[in-house]
Amino acid sequence: MWCSGLRKRYGKRTAVDGVSFSVGRGEVVGLLGPNGAGKTSVIKMLLGLVRPDDGEVLLLGRPGRDPRARERVGYLPELFRYQPWLTAAEVLTLHVRLSGARVPAAEQADVLARVGLAARSGDRVGGFSKGMQQRLGLAVALVARPELVVLDEPTSALDPLGRVDVRDVVLDLRERGVAVLLNSHLIGEVERVCDRVVILDRGRVAASGTLAELLGQRELRLRLDGLTPAAEARMAAVGAVTRTGREVTVALPAGEEDAVVPALVADLVGLGVRVHAVEPVRISLEERLLGILREEHA
Ligand SMILES: Nc1ncnc2c1ncn2[C@@H]1O[C@H](COP(=O)(O)OP(=O)(O)OP(=O)(O)O)[C@@H](O)[C@H]1O
């Protein structure tokens, strides 16, 4: 899947402003960003559910407008409700028919089992809990043997075990060479399964890259007493500084920590600062995301 220069306005509000990225076969890409960043709008444009004002979409090598491009795409929407009078098995059969694929009943039953609904296949969907409906939505996204799967908040209603199931499903898809685009606010989840992430903010790509690229940056956690403006300026010269009382975090320039850390500590001591603790750490995706968003909004 590939998109370039996607733009969308709703009235005066620009929801998506020049978004480009791609998801290759066998690759899991996470779409991250705050509420209203444009994630769902991007997904809907990719799938042809919303018409972009500008930009291009290629799905599995065909223009996104081509209905045949969508035959091999599985989609779990953020908000969904299936026909309450149908059983879970009937919902799957309906979606298989809609997709035009030929999927034998036994394979459909396997998909229900994979999302943990084997025991409920004959029950009407109207009586399903939110989490069970979300599991069914995942089964719908998977059942027609898709080559690209787009999951919009797939675990929002799921219990911790259900989240583990989804992680296994996603890793299994990757194993089979399926391209997966995952929109989730659960950053830990994204960090565990995604090869790459695209961070959206106010309709634009604020950052993107492999986890190694985005998290490659290390930072230094310090516990300090007697900070002076000169000492703060010395730390700011190294990288972005965040401070909560005596705890100070300094972003380290990539690959230079061996030289930078001892020099910084020596200078801080020289400036009269009492250094209680020094700990270099690799930042988590969550911290990195918050850092990127803070810079964007500064
Ligand atoms: N149908 C619509 N009509 C008007 N404005 C819309 C519509 N859909 C989205 N928007 C606006 O576009 C912006 C992006 O919304 P979108 O749903 O894409 O964000 P999101 O990143 O998915 O957010 P969330 O994390 O809350 O799901 C928001 O300002 C929203 O109000």
Query: What domains are defined for the chain?
Result: 2-213 (3.40.50.300), 218-282 (3.30.70)
| Whether the complex's predicted ipTM surpasses the cut of 0.85 | yes
Whether the per-residue pLDDT at 25 is higher than 90: the answer is: yes
98-156 pLDDT, tens digit each: 988 899 999 999 999 999 999 999 999 999 998 999 999 999 999 999 999 999 999 88
- The region of weakest confidence among 7-11, 212-216, 256-260, 284-288 is 212-216
215-228 pLDDT, tens digit each: 766 889 999 999 99
Q: What's the average model confidence in pLDDT over 232-261?
A: 89
The reply to whether ligand 1 has any atom less than 6 angstroms from the CB of 37 is yes
Spacing, Cα 36 to ligand 1 middle (Å): 5
Contacts 24+ apart (CB under 8 A), 107-110: 107/143, 108/143
Instruction: For residue 56, give Cα distances in angstroms to 47, 108, 138, 146, 160.
Output: 12, 34, 27, 21, 37
**Tokens matching residue 56:** 């291009």
The reply to whether ligand 1 has any atom less than 6 angstroms from the CB of 40 is yes
Q: What's the average model confidence in pLDDT over 155-159?
A: 87
Is the Cβ–Cβ distance between 23 and 178 less than 8 Å? Answer: no
The predicted pLDDT at position 124 comes to 96
Tell me if the pTM is above 0.90.
no
Q: What's the average model confidence in pLDDT over 74-94?
A: 91
Spacing, Cα 200 to ligand 1 middle (Å): 12
The predicted pLDDT at position 227 comes to 93
- The region of weakest confidence among 81-85, 208-212, 231-235, 252-256 is 252-256
CA–CA separation, 8 and 244 (whole Å): 39
- Angle of the 130-143 helix axis to the 88-99 helix axis, nearest 10: 30
Whether the per-residue pLDDT at 270 is higher than 70: the answer is: yes
The reply to whether ligand 1 has any atom less than 6 angstroms from the CB of 41 is yes
Confidence of residue 195 (pLDDT cuts 50, 70, 90): very high
